């Protein structure tokens, strides 16, 4: 089945209800993608993810390329077979990980030379090779290589990165055309809008990337340390310039209390490591705010983490037991916390979709913010 997107409804806030069709299943949007960096969502089996209702995962091209190698994965039948995951997968280009290496990489117009964080070996990533790696992986959605920059960055720096991102997007487009449709047309390719925190650069980048006619579009280079209000502002600048009949992906977000803000700005897809990373540190998301399970006040608490939650963890285990697991450094603590947090995010997205269907996302978002406690875990 080729990739396609159908827009089902847009509510008065600008939020969109949609559906993506991929060779490995349908994804209801707005969607949150749990991050499976190296072929695993940390702490959860694929069976558990299926039972939780995950429709799409994010995998990381950089990590697959370094270990075990994309040719190894190709030889084993592709990423879906390799990791025994029957549903959809989006792979990023590896650009963000490469650019986060700082002293271990050098960026030129041709591509990025970098040293592996594993053994120091030298590698060269180009728009063409990023596409080839993802083709070998066989992901349902591939991302073009872009230049992600730090925050804050000067106008000159952001302008240069946006221009380079555009050039790389053109090269990826040409490479795809030269080899024919990836895997028989089953793999979609998304372009990425850059431009830092400068509205003019964002608008220009969006117009240029859209002109290349990708299957979907991402807003990149945000969630890198800028305030939430600025993330929303840049998203609001870009989203109206993207085609209404194609999915919109805001990369690397977000906190539960912020997600509806992005959806109301026309975003269809998001990803973030926060659910499982927070879980491993004993931070659980609930309908009443964050619970830091290591705190002594939970030592004798027989209640579930969230009495309003329908997940298997809240249906079986007490706060006291979960605290005990973390204090005793038992692996099960992180596993159960991860299960709960992923469920929380997926249930939040379900409620957001329901609110869009009923035309009341603004009201739901206001009520949600009043319950959730903002701030780091």
Evaluate whether 208 touches 163 at the Cβ level (below 8 Å).
Answer: no
Three-state SS at 13? coil
Distance of CA 192 to the CA centre of its chain: 13
Phi, psi for residue 303 in degrees, rounded to 5 = -75, 155
Phi-psi region of 103 (alpha: psi -120 to 50; beta: other; left: phi over 0): alpha
User: Sheet containing 188-193: which strands, arranged edge to edge?
Assistant: 31-34, 269-272, 248-250, 216-219, 188-193, 141-143, 88-92, 56-60
Q: What is the four-CA torsion angle of 137, 141, 146, 150, rounded to 10 degrees? A: -100
Evaluate whether 29 touches 17 at the Cβ level (below 8 Å).
Answer: yes
Tokens read off for 347: 């249930």
Q: Following DSSP, what letter does each residue of 265-293 receive, concatenated? A: TT--EEEESHHHHHHHTTEEEETTEEEET
Q: Tally Cβ neighbours within 10 Å of residue 219.
A: 30
**Is the sign of the CA dihedral 41, 267, 217, 219 positive or negative?**
negative
Q: Following DSSP, what letter does each residue of 90-114 receive, concatenated? A: EEE-SHHHHHTTGGGEEE-SS-EEE
- Point out the residues that are catalytic: 92, 271
């Amino acid at each position: 089945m080729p990739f396609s997107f159908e827009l089902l409804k847009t509510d008065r806030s600008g939020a969109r209800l949609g559906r993506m069709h991929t060779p490995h299943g349908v994804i209801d949007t707005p969607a949150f993608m749990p991050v499976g960096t190296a072929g695993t969502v940390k702490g959860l089996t694929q069976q558990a993810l299926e039972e939780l209702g995950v429709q799409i995962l994010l995998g990381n091209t950089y990590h697959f390329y370094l270990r075990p190698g994309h040719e190894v994965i190709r030889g084993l039948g592709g990423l879906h077979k390799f990791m025994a995951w029957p549903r959809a997968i989006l792979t990023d280009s590896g650009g963000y990980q490469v650019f986060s290496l700082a002293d271990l990489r050098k960026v030129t117009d041709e591509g990025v030379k970098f040293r592996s964080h594993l053994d120091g070996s030298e590698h060269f990533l180009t728009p063409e090779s990023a596409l080839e790696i993802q083709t070998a992986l066989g992901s349902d959605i591939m991302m073009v290589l872009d230049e992600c920059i730090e925050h804050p960055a000067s106008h000159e720096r952001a302008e240069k990165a946006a221009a380079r991102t555009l050039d790389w997007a053109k090269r990826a487009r040409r490479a795809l055309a030269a080899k024919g449709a990836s895997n028989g047309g089953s793999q979609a390719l998304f372009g990425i809008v850059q431009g830092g925190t400068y509205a003019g650069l964002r608008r220009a980048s969006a117009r240029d990337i859209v002109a290349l006619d990708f299957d979907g579009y991402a807003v990149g280079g945000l969630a890198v340390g800028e305030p939430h209000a600025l993330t929303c502002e840049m998203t609001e600048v870009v989203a109206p310039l993207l085609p209404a009949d194609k999915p919109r992906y805001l990369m690397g977000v977000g906190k539960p209390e912020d997600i509806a803000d992005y959806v109301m700005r026309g975003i269809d897809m998001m990803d973030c490591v926060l659910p499982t990373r927070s879980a491993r540190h004993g931070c659980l998301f609930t309908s009443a705010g964050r619970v830091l399970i290591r705190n002594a006040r939970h030592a004798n608490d027989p209640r579930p983490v969230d009495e309003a939650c329908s997940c298997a963890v809240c249906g079986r285990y007490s706060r006291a037991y979960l605290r005990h697991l973390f204090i005793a450094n038992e692996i099960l603590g992180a596993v159960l916390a991860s299960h709960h947090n992923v469920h929380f995010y997926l249930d939040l997205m379900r409620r957001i979709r329901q609110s869009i269907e009923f035309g009341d996302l603004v009201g739901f978002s206001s009520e949600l913010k009043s319950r959730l406690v903002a701030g780091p875990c």
